[in-house]
Structure 1
Amino acid sequence: MKSTTRGTLAAVITCVAAAAGAAAGVAPAAAIGTVPVPVPLDGVEKSLNVELPRIGGEIPLPTPGAPEGPRFVEGRLIPERVVPQLPVAAGLPGLGVRTPLPEILGNEFNHIGLDAPASDLRTLGPGLDVDAPLTAPNPDRFGLPDLKLPEAGVLTPVLQTVPTADLGLGKGL
């Protein structure tokens, strides 16, 4: 192999390694579950010469999932879940507040804080389940289907979460 070919190959490998290292160090926006939202009160605090609460929040990013498709069931002409339920994973917004507390309760407590972190939320949208007014072909009637009552149903939406919060007293702000 010529020295120019080796040099070019080394430069390409170096560039690929640098790009892979840079990509590994930065998380893509889709991989981040929440976006922090600080409330800047520093300007008001300095202009009024007053200690103000520290407020911040978290806004979750919803991510749609793959719906569970229709399922074919023996004895039905139309598959189950004609309109499938769409799963969406997100979260409830989070909130963090710390406010100064006058030393009414003693010298140990200088702030009161509320911390309600963003919690996971799992949802399924409503779906539709219908069936035709005919049965599958009946061999006793020479392959003709029997009549039956039509079926229609709405699959109810699902909402699952476990929110948490913490209220406490502490030193400092």
Structure 2
Amino acid sequence: MKPTTRGTLVAAVTGVAAAVAAVGAAAAPAAAAGTVPIPVPLDGVEKSLNMEVPKLGMELPLLMPGAPEGPRYVEGHLLPDRALPQLPLSGGLPGVDLRAPLPHVLGDRFDHVGVSAPAGDLRTLAPGLSVDAPLTAPNPNNFGLPGLKQPEVGLLAPVVQTVAGGDLGAGPGL
């Protein structure tokens, strides 16, 4: 290989590595947070209508796939257990924070109503499949040939685990 070709190849590989590192560094803070805040700007509506409008903010979770458990070999079965493994996902439930003006409907001390539902952890497992062939293991009494048996099919149910919470309140100020 000529020295100019080597230099061009080294420069190309270095540029690609730098681009991948820059993209990874930019995505790291968002992935570390677990949720992405989404502010809803309503200041322009408040100024143009000259009235108080609700304050709204949201959080969307980032789903993170996990590593599935590999197939497990079971004695007496030709095919491994959990042929289609369950894929774990972790993330969160969306969060919302809403504060709306309330024109003294509940009395002089109540100027707003607010709803706050923080983002909560969410863990799931996708459905899986467990199958077994309609053949037994090789039988030495049958010249090493397998015997017949009933086929086995099992569906592994999906799993969802979370704890959701929220707060509803009314009080002074917005």
Question: Normalised by the shorter chain, which TM-score bucket?
Answer: 0.7 to 0.9
Moved over 3 A (4+): 138-144
Count of matched residue pairs? 147
Return 5+ residue gaps in structure 1 as ranges. Answer: 1-26
Q: Which residue of 2 aligns with 1:116?
A: 117
Range 75-84 or range 147-156, more displaced: 147-156
CA distance in 1, matches of 2:139, 2:30: 56
Range 159-168 or range 112-121, more displaced: 159-168
Q: Which residue of 2 aligns with 1:161?
A: 162
Percent identity between the aligned chains? 68
Name the SS for the 1:121 alignment partner: strand
CA distance in 1, matches of 2:163, 2:30: 25
**Superposed CA offset, 1:75-127 (max 9, x none):** 11110011111111111111110011112322221111001111111111121
Name the SS for the 2:121 alignment partner: strand
CA distance in 2, matches of 1:160, 1:62: 14
Name the SS for the 2:82 alignment partner: coil
Return 5+ residue gaps in structure 2 as ranges. Answer: 1-27
How far 1:72 moved relative to its partner? Answer: 0.6
CA distance in 1, matches of 2:30, 2:60: 13
Q: Which residue of 1 aligns with 2:14?
A: none
- What's the TM-score, normalizing by structure 2? 0.78
**Mapping 1:1-173, distance limit 5 Å:** 28-173=29-174
RMSD between aligned alpha carbons?
A: 1.5
Amino acid in structure 2 at the alignment position of 1:42:
D
Amino acid in structure 2 at the alignment position of 1:40:
P
- What's the TM-score, normalizing by structure 1? 0.79
